[in-house]
Structure 1
């Protein structure tokens, strides 16, 4: 029997991950508060806050600066205040939009002076700042992570892959076979749409913020691709919680 093992959101794109016990899913929407904000850099191809989704290259990302991968997050949904912590930068608590300059000042040393400086915080109501404009939720299998860890010769943290829902009980990479099918988790349903092709952001250890495993090479050499996890969209609203049974239809 497959079960929902972990739920994770990332309130700011590429800047902090936060485990959750439960969450309510809504059709046509990403995981609540996931990639709710993003931080644009000085070379972004837009001015100020755009009116619509923008490509990921406009924002601070772990693929460019692996130190960002070690940030952890804790969001107070009632107040909108976000606490970020990093092993080198310490901890800061703020409101990302109202205190945008504090956020950018805290990020600047991690991002590095040789990169285009953090410029402004972006939030578009109703649009998660995910890598694609679609309201995707990333679904991953714990057995796939175990298989990849064995091939790499070291245990790999799930937070390298910045997924949302981790499923326990599937065979390694079984999720690839579920494209086009429906997952029933708790009261919610999701349709699996496509595989996720990965980038070298996954090379970084989220405990240290340093690249230590070439996950893409391990995937190519052992599994013949660079994919890990699948994208799904919510088709029926409902709450999901860690421990819920996962049924495939």
Structure 2
């Protein structure tokens, strides 16, 4: 039994925008190229970019739902951000931090720690896992959540990297400890992804409007998707086969 890739996504700045890709070349032991290259540390954070840090150190959609409505484009060292309530911003995160902080300030709740600086972890993306991970998400599981809530949902709520279809719902949870081939790349699936309030926000509006966590709880868990690490590098295209080895 196998599925196929339906879409590929990266998030250049953690929690600040998504970008859809037609293909990507994976590197063994690394996060997806261009994914979570930067993260936005808030004023109470001790993260300085010298090493990986947990998500609580950063401005994120769980605390600031308007961030979920950002889309992004990465070109070299420059990122262009778009949001329905803000003008587009093109800047270099390593250079123009003040420009970004001014742009994002209206999207941040007044009762949360303010965004303070952009950090860049050495040699890996600032994913939520303490190992360099790729997130794999199942369209069948997504449709089950939609059915439970009785409404259409954007897959952007889940901020996944590689989406696939053609396999049963929650089949991905059976992959823990197993290897998966997607296109030319091979992954080792390590753990399920426990979800947070970020998924309750609409990626078009930034407003909380769906009880995704309540829907997941009806299956006696709060998980969606799995984290995997890259064992063998190679290029992945939309439409490539997803095969359990």
Tell me the alpha carbon deviations over residues 27-52 of structure 1, each in whole angstroms, 9 at most, x when there is no partner: 11011111000111111134xx3411
Tell me the alpha carbon deviations over residues 31-75 of structure 1, each in whole angstroms, 9 at most, x when there is no partner: 1111000111111134xx341111211111000010000000011
Q: Equivalents in 1 of 2:4, 2:108: separation in Å?
A: 37
Q: Which runs of 5+ in 1 are unaligned?
A: none
Provide the TM-score with structure 1 as the length reference.
Answer: 0.95
Q: Once structures 1 and 2 are overlaid, which stretch shifts more, 66-75 or 174-183?
A: 174-183
Report the CA distance between 1:116 and its aligned residue. 2.0
Q: Which residue of 2 aligns with 1:229?
A: 225
Report the CA distance between 1:131 and its aligned residue. 1.1
Q: Equivalents in 1 of 2:191, 2:52: separation in Å?
A: 20
The 3-state SS of whatever aligns with 1:201 is helix
Tell me the alpha carbon deviations over residues 132-188 of structure 1, each in whole angstroms, 9 at most, x when there is no partner: 220110001001101110001111111101010001111111111111111111111
Q: Which residue of 1 aligns with 2:78?
A: 81
CA contact (8 A) 1:40 1:122 kept: yes
Q: Does 1:119 align with 2:116?
A: yes
Q: How does 1:158-237 map to 2 (within 5 A)?
A: 158-221=155-218, 223-237=219-233
The 3-state SS of whatever aligns with 1:189 is strand
Q: Which residue of 1 aligns with 2:14?
A: 13
Q: Equivalents in 2 of 1:19, 1:103: separation in Å?
A: 22
Report the CA distance between 1:112 and its aligned residue. 3.0
For residue 131 of structure 1, the aligned residue among 128, 133, 140 is: 128
**Aligned pair count?**
244
Q: Equivalents in 2 of 1:37, 1:181: separation in Å?
A: 30
CA contact (8 A) 1:127 1:133 kept: no
Give RMSD over aligned pairs: 1.0
Q: Which residue of 1 aligns with 2:66?
A: 67
Q: Equivalents in 1 of 2:202, 2:107: separation in Å?
A: 15
Q: Equivalents in 1 of 2:241, 2:27: separation in Å?
A: 19
Q: Does 1:25 align with 2:26?
A: yes
Provide the TM-score with structure 2 as the length reference.
Answer: 0.97
Q: Does 1:241 align with 2:237?
A: yes
Q: Equivalents in 1 of 2:190, 2:226: separation in Å?
A: 7
Q: Equivalents in 1 of 2:109, 2:175: separation in Å?
A: 41
